[in-house]
Copies of this chain bind each other. A is one copy, B any other.
């Protein structure tokens, strides 16, 4: 790894932060970002810089970086473009490792801006800093409770997924999509104009980061496709890169041009090359969140053969369709496996894959069925589709007769959690990945569970589970080409 990239350690784990452009004006970035740092739980030193004030948000303010005598690891810049250059001059000789330039008004505004950006880059190098941005939303590192970014009081939970995005808003939404699956973030970078560090640099850095198990990247512009793909190809040998690309169509490219000045690349060529480099291409923010979460705490499938266990016949049919459409296989099971299963099933069971649990969701049957399939060697991944009724939210009216059995739901929820834990235990023991899906709120992580990441996700739809298997099977294939046996 490029020695300069090691500076990034100080972006995510700074002992101290100088904040240039600290403000108390509610809708200014200099307020929003500083406020997020202060209220997010960051435990290092924070030095607000504002020449017009004695204090900002309760902290003593400095009129320039020169006035801060203590060591500074990270500097954040929120002042207008021309002032950033002066502020970076102040950093020369200070040993500051990283600058996050939030300020917009550089290359994205045309030739004058591009010239300013070159100067920014030159000065940053002179000061010995690596630079994130300009024209970016900031960075975050939830395990350190560091949230140096714009979105209001957005302090997502810590986890094992890292994010790189050329769009700030999409960064937030990608993190939100993973959080909706119950998974938190390790590092998040809004890369902006990428004057100094580029997506490929962040990929290389995160590849070496022991706290990152999967990387999500949003790209609009590819400046140096060859370098990007070479780096990605080597990162993919260690951990999965899930990439969402904006500018896949003529209309998208033309929109991207006015957004980040992105250059057109042939989408078909890029997708093919990305596949060769082991990159997992996704096509929506939600898909990115689901696929990335799938990799956390779950073994890779050893092939494309999927066993489906379903609580409802129709869902099994849809799952078989989705899997086939995703280039997965639904193999027939051998007579010996079917007869083993048959011994657990009622007489009217029709043997086959999907395994339709016609007897209902009796866990005393579900678990052995899953175990038989995991041990069979006939499937590489298992899907378990849970059905049931949604939670009754209103009080039950028994004035016309009938019984209030709404208490059953809480019992079910508790049982479901236990079952999931037990089944994922089985998965880890036997090393065959399991994908549990339910459309019920059962699968939704309670707010306090989000940050724990104790177990793999529960899928909110059959389709999303199939997509996850397909992505993981393709990635498993890539890895097998390079892993020494």
Instruction: Tell me which of A114-122, A167-175, A363-371, A413-421 binds B.
Output: A167-175
Q: Does A272 contact B (CB under 8 A)?
A: no
Which one, B42, B325, B400, contacts A39 given CB within 8 A?
B400
Taking the closest CB of chain B, its distance from the CB of A325, in whole angstroms, is 6
Size class of the A contact interface (CB-based, 8 Å): 35 or more
Which chain B positions have C-beta within 8 A of A152? 388-389, 392, 405, 408-409
Complex interface residues of chain A between 101 and 153 (CB less than 8 A to chain B):
109, 151-153
Q: Are B38 and A252 in contact (CB under 8 A)?
A: no
Q: Does A58 contact B (CB under 8 A)?
A: yes
Known: A311-B169, A404-B39. A352 touches B320 (CB 8 A): no
Instruction: Tell me which of A230-238, A241-249, A476-484 binds B.
Output: A241-249
Q: Are A321 and B401 in contact (CB under 8 A)?
A: no
Q: Does A210 contact B (CB under 8 A)?
A: no
Q: Does A330 contact B (CB under 8 A)?
A: yes
Which one, B169, B315, B350, contacts A258 given CB within 8 A?
B350
Q: Does A335 contact B (CB under 8 A)?
A: no
A22-45 interface code vs B (CB 8 A; 1 in, 0 out): 000010000000111111011000
Q: Are B38 and A314 in contact (CB under 8 A)?
A: no
Q: Are A251 and B320 in contact (CB under 8 A)?
A: yes
Taking the closest CB of chain B, its distance from the CB of A284, in whole angstroms, is 5
Q: Does A317 contact B (CB under 8 A)?
A: yes
Q: Does A166 contact B (CB under 8 A)?
A: yes
**Closest residue of chain B to A330, judged by CB?**
B251
CA distance A246 to B310 in the complex (A): 15
Q: Does A387 contact B (CB under 8 A)?
A: yes
**Closest residue of chain B to A154, judged by CB?**
B389
Q: Does A93 contact B (CB under 8 A)?
A: no
Question: For the complex formed by this chain, how many copies does it contain in all?
Answer: 2
Which one, B170, B313, B400, B439, contacts A285 given CB within 8 A?
B439
CA distance A249 to B306 in the complex (A): 15
Known: A153-B389, A252-B317, A401-B57. A168 touches B312 (CB 8 A): yes
Q: Does A338 contact B (CB under 8 A)?
A: no
Q: Are B258 and A356 in contact (CB under 8 A)?
A: yes
CA distance A152 to B59 in the complex (A): 56
Which chain B positions have C-beta within 8 A of A285? 318, 439, 461-463
Which one, B41, B155, B166, B255, contacts A320 given CB within 8 A?
B255
Known: A38-B400, A284-B463, A348-B109. A167 touches B259 (CB 8 A): no
Complex interface residues of chain A between 225 and 284 (CB less than 8 A to chain B):
244, 246-252, 254-256, 258-260, 283-284
Complex interface residues of chain A between 1 and 54 (CB less than 8 A to chain B):
26, 34-39, 41-42, 46
Q: Are A439 and B325 in contact (CB under 8 A)?
A: no
Q: Does A336 contact B (CB under 8 A)?
A: no
**Closest residue of chain B to A450, judged by CB?**
B393
Q: Does A77 contact B (CB under 8 A)?
A: no
Q: Does A377 contact B (CB under 8 A)?
A: no
Which chain B positions have C-beta within 8 A of A170? 312, 314-315, 318
Q: Are B352 and A255 in contact (CB under 8 A)?
A: yes
CA distance A190 to B258 in the complex (A): 51
Which chain B positions have C-beta within 8 A of A248? 321, 324-325
A167-198 interface code vs B (CB 8 A; 1 in, 0 out): 11110110011000000000000000000000
The 9 closest A-B pairs by CB, nearest first: A167-B314, A38-B402, A169-B312, A259-B313, A252-B321, A249-B324, A58-B401, A246-B317, A251-B320
